[in-house]
Chain A
C-alpha cells in the first residue's frame, strides 16, 4: 500500500544553510502527526517543503502516491492539494466567512459550493457566522474558520503551523481536543508543527522530534517519553535528567545513588548516561538512601526537588505536596525504575 505522505531522505537548503537534512518519514491516510522541536530546528521548513513553498536539494517527497518534490522539480503549491492552517490564521480580511471558506472551491458548481460551505460551517459549529467578516470574530472562531477553509477543498494532507499558539491556554487545550476529534471523524491526514509537547501528545498519533534539521525520533508519544532513542530526545521530552553512571564488573550501573540497575551487553569500566525521570525516585522515609536537597520548586499539587549526588551530579524527584523539607536538608528516597534508558557517552549531542 502507498503512504499518504512519504518523505525520502529529503534535504532543504537556504543558500549555505542546511535547514533539513537526510529526513525520511511516512504517514498513513488518516494519521495525525506532529513535528516537535526547538525553534530553528527545521520543522517549519519541512512543512513548507511539503506544501511546495521551498524546493528540496536532494531526496524526494510524495503525496498520495505522486512525487511532488525532487531536486530540480517542485510542483507548485496550488497544484498539490494540501491544506494549510497558520499561526495567525491568515483569513482574507476583505472576504466574508463564507467566501473565505469557498475560496478554494472555485472548481465546484455553485450549488456544490454552497453545500460544501454550509457543511464546513456546521462542522466547526459556526453556521450563524457565514456573512460575518474575519475581524468580527473572536480568536477561537477565526481559528475554526481557518481550519474549515483549509479542509473545504478536501486536501490530501492538512498542514498546521503552530495553529493554537496565538490563543490563550484554556482555549488552546479545548480546541486541540476538538480538532483531533474532527480530523479523526473525517479521516484527514494532518501534520502539526508545534513547540508545545503537551499539545503534541494530546493531538498526534505519531510525533517527530527534530533538532538542527534532523529527525531524531519518529514514534508514538508513549514511546518518545519512555523509550527516547538519544540524549536530546530524552532531555527535550518531559522532565528528567541524564546522569552519568559507571558499569562495574558485575554488570551493574553504579554511581552516587548506589547500584541503579543491571545492564547487560555494555562494556564494563566505562561511564554511561542513564535517564532518570522525576517519578523514578520515590519519597520513602524508611529508605537508607538520603540525598541533600539542592533546590526545590513548589508546584501546587507536588514538590519538585533537585537532589545532589555525591559526585557533583543532581537528579530530580517529585513528591506529594505535603512532603516539605528545607533546602540543605536531606530527603530519603528509593529508586523505582520500571525500565531503564541507557546512552553511551559517545552520543553526547544526540
Chain B
C-alpha cells in the first residue's frame, strides 16, 4: 500500500542518489588523471631516434644531476628545517616568537627568483665582487670566487626556499610530541642535546621524512633554477626535447621516467605520514617548558635562525626591492599592468575552477564516506601535487593537440573550414594543467575544514528536513567560509608562481609576471626582471601570513 504509493520517491532514494555522487568523483578523477595516464602510456609507444640519441648522450647526466640535486636538497632542508624547528619549539631565546613565523618567509620566494637575484648579486659585475675589487684593488683573475651558477649553487638556492616544508611539519611534530617522552629522557640522565638526537629527532622521523619528500617533489619540479644555472636535469631535458626537437612523444617518455622518481617520493611520503599517527601518542597538549638559552648560546641560536631567514628572504628581497626602486619609472608602464592583469586573471580563473571542483568532490566524498572507491578516486585525483608542472604540461598538450588536429582535419575534409587551435593554444589548456597540479591544494584545505564539521551536523540538518545539496548550501558552505577563502588564495598564489606549465602552455604572446621575469633573466637583464619578481614575492607573502596565523592558533592551548 504505502510502498506502491511511494514508489516514485525511490527515484530520490539512497542508492541512486549515492550513485550520482560517486559518478561525480569518478568523472573528476578520470579527467584529472588523463594527463598522467597519457604520460605513462607514452612508454608503450615506440622509442624514436631522438630518444636513442638522448639516451646515449645526455640521459646519464639528467639522472646523475637530478640525484645529486635531490641528495643535496634533502640534506640542506633537513639541517635547516629541523634545527630551526627545534630551536623555536624547544628553546627560548630573544626573538624566538618572531623567528617562529618569520622562518616561513622564504616560502614566498620562488626558487627561480632567488636564483636570479643571487646571480645578479654575486656575478662579476654584481655589487659584492665590485666591492671586493674596489676594496682590495683586485682585478679579473686575481682572486677566486665561488660560482653560483653550479649544481652546488642550485642546491643552496633550493634548500633556502624549500626548508620551510620540513620546518613546518617537524615543528608540528615537536609540539605534538609527548611532553613526558622528553622528560623521561632528561630524568634518565640525558642532556638536552642527547635528548634531541636520541629521542626528539628519532620520534619525529616520520615528520622529517614527510617534509623532506615534499621539498624533493618541488626540487624535481623545478625548471627555472636549473635551466638558468645551466644544469641538465629531467625538466630541462623535457623542455629541450619539446621546444628544440619538437618531439612531443619523446618528451612524454622522458616525463614518464621522471614520474618514477615522483612515484617513489609519493610512496615514501604516504608511508611516513601513516607512521606519524603512531608516533604522536599523546593527546595532552601542555605547554613545553622551553630550555632557556642565555649569553653565547642565545647569540648562536639567533645567528643560526638568521641564516635561513636572512639568506632565504631578507637579503634577496632587499636586493629585489633596491633594483625595483632603481627601475620602477621605466618598468611600471602599461605593459606591466597588462602582465599583472594576465597573471591575476589566469590565477583567479584556475583557483575558482579548482575550488568549484574541490567543493563538489569533497561534498561527494562526505556523502560517500564509506565507499572505498570514492576515497581511492579522490586520492588519485589529487596526485597532481607531486607531479612536476613540465610533465603535466606535456600530458595536457598531447591530447589537446590531438583533439585540435583531429577536429581541424575533419572540418577541412567535410566543410573546408579550418578550426585552428581550439584547446592547445589557448588558456583552456593552461587552466586545465593548473587544476591538475593544484587540485590537491584546494581539496586538502577543504578537507581540513570539513574535518571540523562533525557528521552529526549533517544528520541534524537532514532530519530537520533538508535535502543533501541544501545541506551543502545552508550548512557546509557557511561553516567552511575560512577554508574556502584559504583554498582560493593558496591556489591563486601557486598558479602565479608556476613557471614551466605557463611557459609550455601559454597562448602565443600571452605573458605573465613569472614568464616575464624568466625571459628578462634569460636575457641577462636581471635588474629589469626585478619588478615582476618582486610582485610575485609580495603576492607569495599572503599564504605565509595565512600559515603563520594558523600556527599561532596551533600553539594556543
> B-contacting residues of A (Cβ < 8 Å)?
14, 51-53, 55, 65-67, 70, 72-80, 82-84, 86-90, 92-94, 103-104, 106-107, 146, 149-150, 153, 155, 159, 161
Contacts and interface: CB of A to CB of B under 8 A. Distances in A.
Contacts of A83: 463-464
Given A14-B370, A73-B3, A106-B465, A84 B460 contact: yes
Nearest to B463: A84
A148 to B, nearest CB: 12
B9 A79 contact: yes
Contact of A90 (B9, B370, B457): B457
Contacts of A65: 2
Given A88-B456, A90-B456, A80 B463 contact: yes
Nearest to A83: B463
A51 B463 contact: yes
Given A66-B6, A161-B456, 9 more contacts: A74-B13, A76-B467, A78-B463, A78-B467, A83-B464, A87-B456, A90-B454, A103-B461, A104-B463
A76 B469 CA distance: 13
A94 B479 contact: yes
Given A74-B14, A79-B9, A153 B459 contact: no
Contact of B459 (A51, A74, A79): A51
B462 A76 contact: yes
A80 B12 CA distance: 13
A161 B463 CA distance: 13
A73 B13 contact: yes
A178 B421 CA distance: 73
A51 B10 CA distance: 16
Contacts of A86: 454, 456, 459-460
Given A70-B3, A76-B14, A76-B462, A92 B457 contact: yes
A73 B12 CA distance: 10
Q: In the complex, which of the residues B10, B14, B478 has the most CB atoms of chain A within 10 Å of its own CB atom?
A: B14
B475 interface: yes
Interface string B501-524: 000000000000000000000000
A106 B478 CA distance: 18
A88 to B, nearest CB: 6
A53 B459 contact: yes
Contacts, number: 89
B457 A77 contact: no
8 contacts: A53-B462, A66-B2, A75-B13, A79-B465, A84-B460, A84-B463, A88-B456, A150-B463
A193 to B, nearest CB: 13
Contacts of B456: 86-90, 161
Interface residues of B, number: 26
B466 interface: yes
Contacts of B2: 65-67
B454 A77 contact: no
A150 B421 CA distance: 58
Interface of B: 2-3, 6, 9-10, 12-15, 17, 370, 454, 456-457, 459-467, 475, 478-479
Nearest to B454: A88
Contacts of B459: 51, 53, 77, 84, 86, 90
Q: Which 7 A-B pairs have the closest CB atoms?
A: A104-B464, A90-B456, A86-B456, A77-B462, A74-B14, A90-B460, A84-B463
Given A55-B14, A67-B3, A84-B460, A78 B465 contact: yes
Contacts of A67: 2-3
Given A73-B13, A76-B13, A88-B454, A153 B479 contact: no
Contacts of A52: 462
Given A70-B3, A75-B9, A104 B465 contact: yes
A83 B465 CA distance: 10
Nearest to B480: A94
Q: In the complex, which of the residues A51, A78, A80 has the most CB atoms of chain B within 10 Å of its own CB atom?
A: A78
Nearest to B464: A104
Contacts of A72: 10
A12 to B, nearest CB: 13
B18 to A, nearest CB: 10
B14 A149 contact: no
Contacts of B463: 51, 77-78, 80, 82-84, 104, 150, 155, 159
Nearest to A55: B14
A76 B12 contact: yes
Contacts of B475: 92
Nearest to B478: A94
Q: In the complex, which of the residues B3, B12, B459 has the most CB atoms of chain A within 10 Å of its own CB atom?
A: B459
A150 to B, nearest CB: 7
B463 to A, nearest CB: 5
A94 to B, nearest CB: 5
A146 B475 CA distance: 16
Contacts of A150: 460, 463-464
Given A90-B454, A92-B475, A149 B464 contact: yes
A149 B465 contact: no
A105 B467 CA distance: 14
A55 B10 CA distance: 13
Q: In the complex, which of the residues A65, A74, A90 has the most CB atoms of chain B within 10 Å of its own CB atom?
A: A90
Contacts of A70: 3
A77 B468 CA distance: 10
Contacts of B462: 51-53, 76-78
Contacts of A73: 3, 6, 10, 13
Contacts of A77: 459, 462-463
B350 to A, nearest CB: 28
Contacts of A106: 465
A103 B464 contact: yes
Contact of B6 (A75, A78, A88, A89): A75
B465 to A, nearest CB: 5
Q: In the complex, which of the residues A82, A93, A146, A153 has the most CB atoms of chain B within 10 Å of its own CB atom?
A: A93
A65 B454 CA distance: 32
A146 B461 CA distance: 12
Contacts of B3: 67, 70, 73
Contacts of B466: 78
A222 B460 CA distance: 33
A153 B464 contact: yes
A350 B460 CA distance: 36
Q: In the complex, which of the residues B9, B17, B460 has the most CB atoms of chain A within 10 Å of its own CB atom?
A: B460
B457 to A, nearest CB: 5
Contacts of B461: 92, 103
Contacts of A90: 454, 456-457, 459-460
A82 to B, nearest CB: 5
B68 to A, nearest CB: 49
A19 to B, nearest CB: 12
A94 B454 CA distance: 14
Contacts of B14: 55, 74, 76
A86 B465 CA distance: 16
Contacts of A75: 6, 9, 13
A140 B391 CA distance: 57
A93 B479 contact: yes
Contacts of B465: 78-79, 104, 106-107, 153
B399 to A, nearest CB: 37
Nearest to A87: B456
A88 B422 CA distance: 53
A5 B475 CA distance: 30
Nearest to B470: A78
A197 to B, nearest CB: 24
Contacts of B6: 66, 73, 75
A141 to B, nearest CB: 17
A149 B463 CA distance: 11
Nearest to A86: B456
A149 B10 contact: no
Nearest to B460: A90
Nearest to A158: B463
B302 to A, nearest CB: 40
A92 B454 CA distance: 10
A196 B9 CA distance: 39
